[in-house]
Structure 1
Amino acid sequence: MTEQELMKLIDALLDGDISEADFLRLEAELSVDSKARKAYYDRTALTMLLEDSAAEVQGENVSTTKRRSSKRPESAWRKAFAAMAIVCALLFGLTVWLIGSSLLDDAGNKLVENENGTSPRIEDKEDQATGFAVVMAQSDAVWGAGQSLHDGSLVPLGEIQLEQGVVQLELFSGVMVIVEGKARFSIESPMEMTVAEGQVRAQVPEPAQGFRVRTSGGEVVDLGTEFAIHAGPDSSEVHVLEGEIEWRPKTNVVRKLHEGEALRLIDDGDEQTIPANRSQFIGAAELYESLNAEKITKRARWNTYRKKLQEDERVVAWYSMDTPRSSRRRIANQAERGSMRAGEGAVVAASPAQDRWGTEGAALDFSPTGSRVRLNISGELRSMTLSTWVRINSLDRWYNSLFLTDGHELNEPHWQIMDDGRLFFSVKKRDEFDRSRGERDKHIYYSPPFWNSSMSGQWLMLTTVYDVDAMKVTHYLNGDVISQERIPEEYVVEAVRIGNASLCNWGLPTREDPHFAVRNLNGSMDEFVIFSAALSALEVKDLYENGRP
């Protein structure tokens, strides 16, 4: 529900002319959204304050008083109702906080519990992140010291080691930095970095003038607009490519350098004037030219690998989101030899987006409410592997759908992401169960949290393997195992069925009940695959290495 819709419903309630259907919508929103409850409280408090102020003014006029007295019952009713609703909302919020285990699970049942029996969500907290810069692009980058930074990653605090390759960083101050390996550097703040080794080229916009780079020999202070630094083991160089800088050596006097000028700095403190050499340092244009060539090569390799894999009899369904070109809005199942029947997908509300290779319109954005791709997959699976490439903007629902069957009937799987960043997989085992005896309709296999807001916009490959023969469920992120759990004997399902299902959403409203759970993924998907077998860890890794951009 948008903020505008929420306020419209609140005003209708306070004016006493809200319909029953709208009242139910508002009640549902207040019961799950703490921000909505606060908006309701603030609006009600303001309304009551205005009415009291108006009453005081009207009290000075006798005729107005008569008119006011005739309306007083309605005003009193609204105040009483508003106060009652506020108390109910606050009591509801307190109850959820105190007994978070009474939250609903993905099929509408109570008590969503993880392995420790705790609720997946107790209270709302504002997201926080740490860092001063973002990795925007990289070419042949090999990170050292066990670090692994992807495009879109926040640059961590402390020293960063780039063993080889070229990386583009964007600092929050607006400074763009190109780093060439081998390099050791750290981002100290949005306006300061340290370079111990390597080559750095910085473009500094006007709002960031005064940006500083520290080296072993001194400090460069930008006065606008572009400069470069080479930090070597025996000597360093400072080149002014455009504008001017101030050089503050540790041993000599401060001096200014202008466009076209450069200094070579020897370890003993000597300074040698040399001409600036722009071609010595890679710029953004050269980096992106190299990246485009890399992407063409990698995508060609992926297309060859994908075509071969689509002939694998284990591939039940292969949906690439780059196919809905016609007005029919359909996505073909590209699996060529699968033993089960999986038809084409019908695109609903989702809009074209850029895929992981940077191609416009080759992925689908599921952010609009109601977005989904409708599928029908018949037959039964003993074991299965689900794999997809997604770019998550945010996890702003309790449940964020990847692949959900309609209604979640017996033997049907559900695959989604919790709001705290955990992968969720289940296969429904039973309809009837005794909760007082610890029974559930299914066992939920959670991964540890793998996603946080600092990863927003990054393309990720998510994979879950349901292996009945080995009695385990394994979750993968970018080809690496993030969790593995044994399947309890009492929850084994040896004949998994899918039927009607949706990518990136869940559930269909009906004529009798037009309401539906909002679980659409706030993000994009460009490929989704189902295997009728449990892939090995080596096969999952191979799938990622061949498919990563």
Structure 2
Amino acid sequence: MDNQRFEKLLGRYLDEGLTADTKAEFERMLLASSEARERFWERARTNSMLRQWGQESWGSQFEAAGMADEQSVSSCEVTEPDLVGDCLMDPLEDTKLSQDRKVVRQPSVSWMERSVSWMGWIVAACVLLVTGMWSLRQESLQRPGRGNMSQVVASQTRSAETQLIQQADWVALLRRSIGVQWSGLGKSPSIGEPLMPCKLEFDSGLVEIQTRRGALMVLEGPASLEIISDMEVRCTRGRLRVDVPPPAEGFMVQAPYVNLIDRGTVFAVEVSESQDTEIHVIDGMVELISPSGLEHQRKLLAGESVVVASVGSYQEIPSKAKAFLSESRVRSESRDINIERRKAWERRRDSLSKDENCLLYFDFNRTNRGDTILTNLASKTDRSTDGTIIGCDWTQGRWPGKGAVDLKNMSDRIRFSLSGEYSTLTCVASVRLDSMDGLVNTLLSSGVGSPGDIHWQIAAKGQGEGRLSLGRRVATIRDELDQYDSPPVFRNEQFGTWIQLAFVWDAAEGTVRQYVDGTLVSVDPIRAEELGQAGKLRLGQVEIGNGSQPVAALGNPVRNFNGRIDEFVVFDTALESEEILAFQELGSTFWSNGGRTSRWDDPSNWSGGVVPSSHDVVRIDRSGNDKLKLADATTEGLNSIYVGSAASKVGVFDIDGGTLVADGHSDRHSRVGVAGGDGVINQSGGAVTVNSLQVGLDAESKGVYRISGGTLNVVRAVRQFSSIEVGSKGGLGVFEISGGRVLTRRGVTLGNAGGNGIFRVIGADAEAIGMGSLQSGDGFWIHNTGSTLHAVVGEQGLTTISIAEVGDNGGGDVVFADGALLRVGFEGVPRAGSWDVMKWQGKLLDHGLEFDREVDQNRWSFHFVDTDSSGEPDTLRVTASEFYASHVMRN
């Protein structure tokens, strides 16, 4: 590429000076070079941001640190038609006041419609910055006691630079997330969160993403999508539908064997596990480009579809565009999920309100008691603890039909009275923060200045950041607050989204814990002097959503919360972390063994006192004496079971009898040892049915499933592929069968994506080990490098693993990778003989199965045997020699 020529054309493009010929030349350069595209978007984004920053800064409000005794707030009028003056505000104590101001905005013009040059905007930005500094200096000269002017100017300059950087970082927004099981150990993105270039991976569910240029994507799992820029993504797995509006024309989707460039289009892409790529054009036109040289290869029009199995190979296929979710169908799915979540919330609300430790429960659903009365649903309290709504407006909560109150003004608040002092206290609130008006945004405040009074608030920190802060008034001469602050946990981008907040004061343990969306964000030791005062919190007269007087005045800082609240709960006990998480993950039920009976059907053993029911995800993270036991209960319609579900969590689940069915949602997988946790399931009886099973998933995870009795039916497939996956994504998994029966719809994968899997068969007591024999599915066996098939021969021999083909269209295949391991041994007395470890009805692809290094190959051997005279091997057989038996007997 001619860099000098490209820069010249780029400059003309930004000045709208291209002719038809030079425009065509410029487009060819962009198509031919990824470097050119990157330089183009960087220049275009910077150009657009400078213009936007220039326009918005005409109405910006400069703030400077002032003296504490300054007692007035200045305002200014706009007297010139195209310039807004700068308003300099005085802080009162530690609080930044927010003032309404008039802002004159220029008409919005897209970056392609600008009529001034690139250099013109640089000059304009510089003039703007100088003008702002001059105006600020004039204010400073008129107002003595303002501090160091150079610090103020430097602060404003850094602020402008930070604004430009922040605007340049994000490229897309996560609009919706429906039933998603995120992959890996990292933090999953939140709804409404702006996304910088990143990779999104999830095993099931769907997400809706919109780029900053307006391209709307619906991605169905299992999926892996890398967001490169606001005009380019890379999809290596999943089903992707893309709606491209005119501002995003030219949007590119990279796929394994082809790149797609939009030309005013709606299209869909599906990338399979084998990396085959299907392309379906719903409307408009798509250009298919080679990923190697980026040369144009062909065009697809509306209604046309192809599959690409290698670079340049296109095969026409029937269109299945209707199978991809549109935005309207996503909204429908979202409504269904919201209905399920609200039902789960209602079940837990009804249970928690009966909890003997529940002091206060406001659900913010309107009753016939009037618009200003908020009923306390806690059954242990009387009507004197009901809340009074002052000034707030009723509005919608997290879901349609769910009530909430909207707090905007300094007079808006909820008042209630709750007497007593508490050495343990838990508070959980569901809120939607719409802005941080001041340095302090109060959630809860109590008392009238007595020791033990509490103040829980969101404190602004830095530009666009906030942290949770819990303060307790202590008995000192100055009557001050001891503060317990979290790291910054809020950003401006979270405004308008619902979040769960909680604190746990536990004087018995000597700690203060704070949570955001069920995640522990801070834990601090209670200061020794407070423990010396018995470490108690005092409630008394309490206000929610405000900590300021209803009229702004000197010495009366603004501390009001600006947003919505739709749930507020207070307990006189210290809730565990999983109980806090249950407020956020409404579809999850957490095992606590609170009743100390270890029984499934005891409500007191579950978080919130609710026994799992239809469409719940059950999470078991207790072991030892607190492990879960299923003996005779019957539960159906669960979505999935997680045992050892998070980092540092250990879960054990014993199934001795009863019926457990977890197939309520087709995309949900049951997991043992996931996200860094350790999990064990011991099944000695009963009937278990799950969609699919993953044992040992993610780095630092360990999972074990042992079955010695009962039945295990796996009726679907992990990621539409394996029914049982043992050791995946760096995890260690063990599946062991010594009795009972295991049947699956599809096959087994050992050691996927860097994991290590062990499949162990002990003796001949297992009734059946059938892969692919359930619900008309084809079985298979995929055995990756380093993973182990372990056969332990018992007194009666060995139960053979059966890999079934259903019909005659292929299936029932067995694949051993190079370095796949086989381990053999005896459960009892060694002896000579041969035993069939595995039989299959499909084909064998052996790339290098070998014995584990602990196997004595002088005494053991294995062979692939043709037992049906088909001319192809269909059995894996191991043989122990006579020499081996006699040698062992002599020793």
Task: Give the structure-1-normalised TM-score.
Answer: 0.74
Residue 444 of structure 1 pairs with residue 500 of structure 2: no
Residue 472 of structure 1 pairs with residue 514 of structure 2: no
1:311-326 equivalences in 2 (<5 Å): 311-323=354-366
Residue 151 of structure 1 deviates from its aligned partner by 1.6
Q: Does the residue aligned with 1:286 lie in a helix, a strand or coil?
A: helix
Residue 509 of structure 1 deviates from its aligned partner by 4.8
Give, in whole Å, the separation in 1 of the partners of 2:264 and 2:311. Answer: 29
Residue 268 of structure 1 deviates from its aligned partner by 5.2
Residue 337 of structure 1 pairs with residue 380 of structure 2: yes
Contact 2:290/2:297 (CA < 8 Å) preserved in 1? yes
Residue 164 of structure 1 pairs with residue 204 of structure 2: yes
1:104-253 equivalences in 2 (<5 Å): 128=166, 130-147=169-186, 148-232=188-272, 233-250=274-291, 253=296
Give, in whole Å, the separation in 1 of the partners of 2:496 and 2:390. Answer: 22
Residue 321 of structure 1 deviates from its aligned partner by 2.2
Residue 385 of structure 1 deviates from its aligned partner by 0.8
Contact 1:316/1:341 (CA < 8 Å) preserved in 2? no
Q: 1:192 to 1:324 in 2, by over 3 A?
A: farther
Give, in whole Å, the separation in 2 of the partners of 1:369 and 1:361. Answer: 25
Offset from partner CA, 1:159-181 (integer Å, 9 cap, x none): 22122211111111111101111
Quote the residue 1:371 is aligned against: 412
Give, in whole Å, the separation in 1 of the partners of 2:321 and 2:551. Answer: 65
Quote the residue 1:309 is aligned against: 352
Contact 1:373/1:503 (CA < 8 Å) preserved in 2? yes
Offset from partner CA, 1:364-414 (integer Å, 9 cap, x none): 222334322122222332321111111223334211111012544322111
Give, in whole Å, the separation in 1 of the partners of 2:457 and 2:386. Answer: 22
Give, in whole Å, the separation in 2 of the partners of 1:450 and 1:196. Answer: 32
Quote the residue 2:570 is aligned against: 530
Offset from partner CA, 1:76-117 (integer Å, 9 cap, x none): xxxxxx97873425228889999xxxxxxxxxxxxxxxxxxx
Contact 1:413/1:496 (CA < 8 Å) preserved in 2? yes
Contact 1:31/1:93 (CA < 8 Å) preserved in 2? no
Residue 352 of structure 1 pairs with residue 391 of structure 2: no
Which residues of structure 1 form unaligned runs of 5+? 13-24, 40-81, 99-122, 434-439
Q: 1:531 to 1:270 in 2, by over 3 A?
A: same
Give, in whole Å, the separation in 2 of the partners of 1:486 and 1:395. Answer: 28
2:431 to 386, 390, 396: 390
Contact 1:396/1:419 (CA < 8 Å) preserved in 2? no
Offset from partner CA, 1:434-492 (integer Å, 9 cap, x none): xxxxxx73321111222222333332211111111111111122223222111122123
Contact 1:386/1:464 (CA < 8 Å) preserved in 2? yes
Offset from partner CA, 1:134-167 (integer Å, 9 cap, x none): 1111222112232412221223423221222111
Contact 2:307/2:317 (CA < 8 Å) preserved in 1? yes
Q: 1:404 to 1:280 in 2, by over 3 A?
A: same
Give, in whole Å, the separation in 1 of the partners of 2:89 and 2:200. Answer: 50
Contact 1:504/1:520 (CA < 8 Å) preserved in 2? yes
Quote the residue 1:90 is aligned against: 146
Contact 2:237/2:275 (CA < 8 Å) preserved in 1? no
Q: 1:412 to 1:353 in 2, by over 3 A?
A: same
Q: 1:85 to 1:406 in 2, by over 3 A?
A: farther
Higher RCO (CA-CA < 8 Å; seq separation 6+): 1
Contact 1:225/1:242 (CA < 8 Å) preserved in 2? yes
Residue 515 of structure 1 deviates from its aligned partner by 7.2
Q: 1:8 to 1:380 in 2, by over 3 A?
A: closer
Q: Does the residue aligned with 1:462 lie in a helix, a strand or coil?
A: strand
Q: Does the residue aligned with 2:146 lie in a helix, a strand or coil?
A: helix
Which amino acid counterpart does residue 297 of structure 1 have in structure 2?
E
Contact 1:402/1:503 (CA < 8 Å) preserved in 2? yes
2:335 to 289, 292, 310: 292
Quote the residue 2:544 is aligned against: 503
Q: Does the residue aligned with 2:317 lie in a helix, a strand or coil?
A: strand
Give, in whole Å, the separation in 2 of the partners of 1:131 and 1:28. Answer: 32
538-547 vs 214-223, greater mean Cα deviation: 538-547
Which amino acid counterpart does residue 282 of structure 2 have in structure 1?
L
Quote the residue 2:559 is aligned against: 519
Higher radius of gyration, 1 or 2:
2
Residue 204 of structure 1 deviates from its aligned partner by 1.1
Give, in whole Å, the separation in 2 of the partners of 1:345 and 1:93. Answer: 49
Q: Does the residue aligned with 1:444 lie in a helix, a strand or coil?
A: strand
Give, in whole Å, the separation in 1 of the partners of 2:212 and 2:313. Answer: 35
Give, in whole Å, the separation in 1 of the partners of 2:98 and 2:420. Answer: 44
Which amino acid counterpart does residue 347 of structure 1 have in structure 2?
I
Contact 2:427/2:504 (CA < 8 Å) preserved in 1? yes
Q: 1:83 to 1:478 in 2, by over 3 A?
A: closer
Give, in whole Å, the separation in 2 of the partners of 1:34 and 1:89. Answer: 19
Number of residue pairs aligned between Structure 1 and Structure 2: 458
Residue 9 of structure 1 deviates from its aligned partner by 5.6
Quote the residue 2:501 is aligned against: 462
Contact 2:242/2:268 (CA < 8 Å) preserved in 1? yes
Q: 1:441 to 1:250 in 2, by over 3 A?
A: closer
Quote the residue 1:115 is aligned against: none
Give, in whole Å, the separation in 2 of the partners of 1:34 and 1:378. Answer: 33
More helix by share: 1
Give, in whole Å, the separation in 2 of the partners of 1:231 and 1:89. Answer: 65
Residue 253 of structure 1 deviates from its aligned partner by 4.5
Q: 1:196 to 1:238 in 2, by over 3 A?
A: same
Offset from partner CA, 1:214-262 (integer Å, 9 cap, x none): 1122221111231011122242111110122222234774322111011
1:422 to 467, 478, 487: 467
Q: Does the residue aligned with 2:428 lie in a helix, a strand or coil?
A: strand
Identity %: 25
Give, in whole Å, the separation in 1 of the partners of 2:252 and 2:301. Answer: 16
Offset from partner CA, 1:22-43 (integer Å, 9 cap, x none): xxx976679965998x99xxxx
Give, in whole Å, the separation in 1 of the partners of 2:149 and 2:546. Answer: 27
Give, in whole Å, the separation in 2 of the partners of 1:520 and 1:35. Answer: 11
Contact 2:410/2:548 (CA < 8 Å) preserved in 1? no
Give, in whole Å, the separation in 1 of the partners of 2:587 and 2:443. Answer: 19
Contact 1:316/1:530 (CA < 8 Å) preserved in 2? yes
Give, in whole Å, the separation in 2 of the partners of 1:430 and 1:407. Answer: 13
Offset from partner CA, 1:484-522 (integer Å, 9 cap, x none): 1111221234443222222111133589x6874222222
Task: Give the structure-2-normalised TM-score.
Answer: 0.47
Give, in whole Å, the separation in 2 of the partners of 1:85 and 1:399. Answer: 30
Q: Does the residue aligned with 2:481 lie in a helix, a strand or coil?
A: coil
Which amino acid counterpart does residue 307 of structure 2 have in structure 1?
R
Which amino acid counterpart does residue 88 of structure 1 have in structure 2?
P
Contact 2:95/2:557 (CA < 8 Å) preserved in 1? no
